Chain A
Amino acid sequence: MTDDARAGAARPSPSRARADRALAYLLLAPACVLLMGLIAYPLLRAVWLSVHDVRLLQLGTATYVGAAQYLASWADPVFWTSVRQTVIWTVGIVGAQLVFGMCGALLLNKPFRGRAFWRGVALIPWASSSVLVAMMWLWLLDSNYGVLNDVLRRLGLLHTAFAWLAEPATALPAVMLAAVWQGTPFFAVMLLAGLQAIPEDLYEAARIDGGGGWAAFRYVTLPLLRPTILITTMLRTMWIANYMDLTFVMTGGGPGVATLTVPLYAYFAAYKRLAIGAGAAVAMQLAVALAGAVLIYMRLLGSVEAVE
């Protein structure tokens, strides 16, 4: 049998091909319905809410207001304070988690006695609920009974009680510290998985070429970990920008607006002022900003894959 004849025998008839295509769409339909219901509908609904003046207890009486609620948020200086603090919050936490996570991953990748145990222990902060973490840090930072003040007093660095969460200058860094503590294990575990995938031969080759520890890290570890670092950093950026649990419990956005971030600003508008339309307008702006971050991530990932 010639190749042409074989190909002709393998090609399905037009009616069979149509049936296959229909079956494929049928099998994809449940996933499509789920995606539409769980992602597309809420997104479109949020867009609709953001251009309507809607009160939470009176959803039936919506008035179309166009971009008015977006413009109103821009006219509010507290909104811009929350934007600035969201940037500091996100960059600060993700950056610190990356650095400490890398240190943790490098340590946990070294062979030492009880390594499996310590790898498990290192995950405890990540496995703890946000409210629990918030309550724990509230008491650690308490001006009267907190461990931090007690240690500083014993070292002679502090003479009166210092209220870390009541001072605008220290409140945001204090809550960020709690978030860094909680999220570092995630980075450590992700990077550790990446480190374990790097072949030992490459380190051997680096040693043969006369490279020391820093050179091995700079020219072997970092380049090969780059995709893991990128994906983890971008995922954490999106999560941390949206993350308001710790701030909500520890400071409620205060003192004043010193720890107010955009998600908390949107939450107060939607659930405390009951202006869910105004809340949606703020949330949409955060969503667009994060969509931008996703695009950057996809480009970076594309460039990494192209290099590989």
Chain B
Amino acid sequence: MVRQRGASWCARLLGVLLVVAVSGWLGVMPGTAQAPTTVVNYWLWLDDPTDPMFPALIKEFNDTHPGITVQPQVIPLAQFHDKLVTAISAGSGPDVSRFKDWWLGEFVQAGALEPLSSYIAHWNGRADVIQNLWNTGRISPTGLVYMMPHQFITFYMYYRKDWFQQAGVQPPRTFDEFVAAAKKFTDPSHNRYGFGLRGGDGGQDQWLAFMVAGGARMVDPLGHVVINSPKAVAVNQWYIDLYRTQKVAPPSAPSDAYAQVLGAFEGGITAMFAHHVGSSVLVTGKLGASAVGVVPIPVADPKAPATMATMAGNVMLRESGHKAAAWTFLSWLTERGAMDEWSRSRQGQLPVLTSLASSSFYQTNVFFTTSFDEAKYAITWPGLPGVGYVSAALWQQVMQQALLGQISSQQMLDRIATALESK
């Protein structure tokens, strides 16, 4: 009796398995079910992960490209580099990844990225990309493009327009005017300071903006590291002195990260801080549009303006098994419709397309126009393998030591130069 019941269960189980197997087989038969689809894994970070723009954008792509399904994975920027490096080392990286120009040198040196130049040569949208921005995806001016430009920023300076008007001070255009204005608004007894210097996490972009604005360069036209040249040492000393001798930055400057610098400006503690268009909605929302002004990063020589630009683009991993589908998605992100949606969203950075940059939405906003004006002369981090380490760890360590007087300007830049030169 028991044996009969057991045999009956076995027969039923076999029947179910047979049905599942046959239905699975029918599912891959042409014309009997959905067509096979290529899955493209895409990793990215979002400044605001709750932004509904991105899921809507992925749905739009998947709906309009029946043969491809993009599966995104959102990872916080703070962990992004670690996770990507580990995954690629383990052979389990994505097909397409959002990418910072900081990391280009080390990933290209390791052979982890697929060159995109041959794809771009056959891409209809290439002429619309702002010409200068292709360089952000190369590691040398004439080399192959590894990163598709997508969203970029240039560093400019926010200032308290209401304070400046009240004090009858013009927004600074030069280093001298900047120091004079910063001193004017510094009063430690009332916890007020002229400038929100960012010596903590992420401050390397602000620092580089002032370095290049002062005439220093990371590399010369031949690609040699010159960040420890006498000129660079002098500009760096000027930057350190904003905290040490001019004392126009808050006492917390050596450890201040974005949240502290932004909070001090919004809270009426600092009169100026350097950042990009990504803060414009926050500061005008908090202080009101009439209280906030924006000027290009002050320069040492008005005839030679410069600031820092950084690009967040998209790359294709060399190990991807779906390169054609990956390229379709990667290039679609840089096409006009998708890019406009992204740039208008809460992620809010600059579009890389000429046609969008000249449209009225961007041309009627002073934060965008100032950024685009600066883009004509902005300088990016060089495509050296050591940039990843300098930007992620070393800069903060040596900058803080220099701000605290533990090392000199020359020693700080020598350590950065050594790291940049290392293979």
Contacts and interface: CB of A to CB of B under 8 A. Distances in A.
Contacts, number: 101
Interface in A42-82: 55-59
A255 B255 contact: yes
Nearest to A260: B397
Tell me the dominant secondary structure on chain B's binding face. helix
Contacts of A272: 388-389, 392-394
Given A252-B396, A274-B388, A163 B85 contact: no
Nearest to B267: A144
Contacts of A251: 255
Interface stretch (B117-125, B283-291, B400-408): B400-408
B260 interface: yes
Nearest to A61: B110
Interface string B92-122: 0000000000000011011110000000000
Given A56-B85, A163-B255, A256-B397, A274 B106 contact: yes
Interface residues on B, range: 35 or more
Contacts of B260: 142, 144
B267 A145 contact: yes
A271 B106 CA distance: 12
A56 B83 CA distance: 11
A160 B396 CA distance: 25
Given A58-B110, A252-B200, A274-B389, A165 B88 contact: no
Nearest to B84: A57
B263 A145 contact: yes
A57 B263 contact: no
Given A58-B110, A144-B250, A166-B254, A160 B88 contact: no
B268 to A, nearest CB: 10
Interface string B381-423: 0000000110011101110110110100000000000000000
Contacts of B73: none
Ranked nearest first, the 10 interchain pairs of A and B with the lowest CB-CB distance are A57-B110, A163-B252, A256-B401, A272-B393, A166-B255, A255-B400, A143-B252, A166-B254, A163-B251, A256-B400
24 contacts: A56-B86, A58-B110, A142-B260, A142-B263, A143-B252, A144-B264, A144-B269, A145-B263, A160-B188, A161-B191, A165-B255, A166-B199, A166-B254, A168-B406, A252-B393, A254-B254, A254-B396, A254-B397, A255-B254, A256-B401, A271-B81, A274-B85, A274-B388, A274-B389
